[in-house]
Structure 1
Amino acid sequence: MKKRYSSFKFSAIIAGLLAMLLVLSGCSLEWELDHSANFDRRSTIDSDRLRVIFLDVGQGASQLLISPSGKTMLIDAGNNDQEQAMLDYLKQYGVNRLDIVIGTHPDADHIGGLDRVIDHIDVGEIYMPKIQANTKTFESLLLSIKNKGLKVKTAKAGLVLDWDDEIKVTMVGPVNVSDSKNNMSAVVKVVYGNTSYLLTGDAERESEKDMMESGVDLQADVLMIGHHGSKSSSTLSFLKKVAPQFGVIQVGDNNYGHPTSTVLERLSKQGIEVYRNDLHGTVEIASDGHTYRITTER
């Protein structure tokens, strides 16, 4: 498979201007967009970097994180029909243990593949928010957790996860208890040096408002666009608070209209460079703590 070459001159010009502005303003953050010729999941080119990989699981979501020291974290695992694909991905990336697993919320398109992953991969800790679903998918996940002898830790705002000494991983949501599964989504902020990521699950405007009102630092260079680009998420005030340079939409063929034109236009007006699984396949944004290398499957 091949990486997508960056051929959009306008985007490159904008990126260059933004970089100049950052230098002039005294900000030390830099990034490079390197779309090389061969998309190699096992590549060691980024072995000194934090790798945040937005796996292409169709109309669902899954993020695989691999630290420079080899620590691993999996957030969600796509829908039920992605179970084998998830195992294949983990094998391709050389992952035989997951130090942390997070199921952001009980929707099938996020936790559908987690039961099979837990059945076949060594798992350290697992986090899920305190909300349930009366579905076979959720019950199957709980059974796999039980059979593995794991104890679920509650995902909620304020937690600092013990993952890698050089990387700070905190949960910034959910802040409050809600009847909405989406607004109970675990929201994870990852900081490595001067670089940062905000991974939002299906958090909607209610959760976004709660996070903003909590006073937590939400600024992040890379934002996983909430709820697959639905208009229920990514409010203008939230985007301004996060102020990302890059956005990733985890989306596939669907009948929901995701991502919506409203959100895409909003992202464009904020100058956010957007990557999408349905257009670019798997997207990896790797950081050495100062710069980013972005690679795409197509």
Structure 2
Amino acid sequence: MKKHLYIVIGLILVLLLAACSPTSLPTANQTTPPQQAAAGTLQVYYLDVGQGDSTLIRTPKNQFVLIDGGYNSQGKNVVKYLEQLGVKELTAVIATHPDADHIGGLDTVIDAIPVKSVYAPKVSHTTNTYKDFLMAVKNRGLKIKSTKAGLQIPLDGVTAEFVAPVGEYGKDLNAWSAVLHLSFGNTSFLFTGDAEKKSETDMLAHPNKLRADVLKVGHHGSDTSTSPKFLTTVNPKYAVISVGEGNKYGHPKEAVMERLKKAKVSVYRTDKNGTVTAISDGTNIKFETVR
């Protein structure tokens, strides 16, 4: 009798250990995004792509805009996210700048999902990652539309206008970042790519175009971005930081977190919250996280 009891206890222990083993735990990129929100709302999905950037916008009229696609290794994960959210076509794809952690996965996305238009700043790069992006666009029979301050993306029911790049920035890829301002009803969002203080200073020439309820924090929370004057001008209620857990850069920097805290901004982070979803009905914004 005791022998059978020991066998049963042993089997239970084996099952418990298997259930708790690291290989059985979901990774960040296996986490399913939140369910689609009610029709007629604006939904912004700050996708969890580790140390990189990728954001999906779903307009109230069911048009989709993808901003960046994370590293090369994240391309398939981004496609999976989009498929889970029912994306059949992308109205626009925005490559904020040629850094690999922003455009790496875009060729995989463009190959997998039909795209109507592609936007990127007028700056090139010599990496294979950038060339893969260009080839994917070419294979779709598309030409890249150059982003610059004042250019609008034609969308129904929302206003989407680039507020940067403002000028010419030579080989400073971060300064070339395409920055998009999106508004729906009385709510607004600002997506900053890796724009740093140089670009932020240029954007401040038109402060009335920067105010936003939700700020996608520049450069993953690096202290080269989100300068005090820029943050004061944007005056967000919420901020989202797209960042990888335990990244080697130390992002987000403590100085930036202190600035956001001092400004009484509610902060969401993809390394802690997974994919972060902001849902706007035109008056109020609510947030959902997967963890």
The two structures share one fold, judged by TM-score above 0.5 = yes
User: Which residue of structure 2 aligns with residue 153 of structure 1?
Assistant: 145
**How far apart in 2 are the matches of 1:109 and 1:191?**
26
8 Å Cα contact 2:53/2:70 also seen in 1: yes
Instruction: Indicate which of 260, 264, 278 corresponds to 1:285.
Output: 278
Change in CA separation of 1:221 and 1:146 when aligned onto 2, cut-off 3 Å: same
Distance 1:206 1:111 in 2: 22
Distance 2:238 2:57 in 1: 17
1:120: Cα distance to partner? 1.0
**Counterpart Cα distance in 1 of 2:150 and 2:84:** 33
The answer to whether the aligner puts 1:142 opposite 2:134 as a matched pair is: yes
Distance of 1:206 and 1:238 partners within structure 2:
11
Task: Give the Cα–Cα distance (whole angstroms) in 2 for the partners of residues 123 and 232 of structure 1.
Answer: 33
Match of 1:273 among 256, 266, 272: 266
Q: Secondary structure at the match of 2:288?
A: strand
Contact conserved, 1:172 with 1:216, CA < 8 A, in 2? no
Query: Is 2:159 the counterpart of 1:168?
Result: yes
SS at match of 2:155: strand
Deviates more, 1:241-250 or 1:63-72: 63-72
Amino acid at match of 1:286: I
Query: How far 1:184 moved relative to its partner?
Result: 0.4
TM-score normalised to structure 1 length:
0.85
> Does residue 178 of the first structure (1) align with residue 169 of the second (2)?
yes
2:41 corresponds, among 28, 49, 63, to 49
Q: CA RMSD in A?
A: 1.2
Task: Please tell me the residue identity of whatever aligns with 1:263.
Answer: V
Q: How many residues are aligned here?
A: 259
TM-score between the two structures when normalised by the length of structure 2: 0.87
TM-aligned CA deviation for residue 48 of structure 1: 2.2
Larger RCO (CA within 8 A; separation ≥ 6): 1
- For each residue in 1:30-56, what CA deviation from the matched residue of structure 2 results, as whole angstroms up to 9, or x when unmatched? xxxxxxxxx974734332210011000
1:74-93 correspondence to structure 2 within 5 Å: 74-93=66-85
2:174 partner amino acid: N
Q: Which structure 1 segments of 5+ residues have no match?
A: 1-38
2:130 partner letter: F
Runs of 4+ in 1 over 2 A off after TM superposition: 39-48
Q: Pick from 257, 264, 289 the counterpart of residue 264 of structure 1.
A: 257
Uncovered stretches (5+) of structure 2, i.e. residues with no partner: 1-30
Amino acid at match of 1:280: N
Are residues 287 and 58 of structure 1, via their aligned partners in 2, closer, same or farther at CA, if it must alter by over 3 Å? same
Report what 1:27 is aligned to: none
Distance 2:77 2:269 in 1: 18
Alpha-carbon distance in structure 2 between the residues aligned to 1:161 and 1:129: 14
For the residue of structure 2 that corresponds to 1:198, the secondary structure is strand
Mapped to 2, the partners of 1:153 and 1:129 lie a distance apart of 8
From 173, 180, 183, the equivalent of 1:188 is: 180
Q: Which amino acid aligns with 1:292?
A: I
Q: Contact 2:221/2:241 (CA < 8 Å) preserved in 1?
A: yes
What amino acid sits opposite 1:151 in the alignment?
Answer: K
**Pair 1:294-2:287 in alignment:** yes
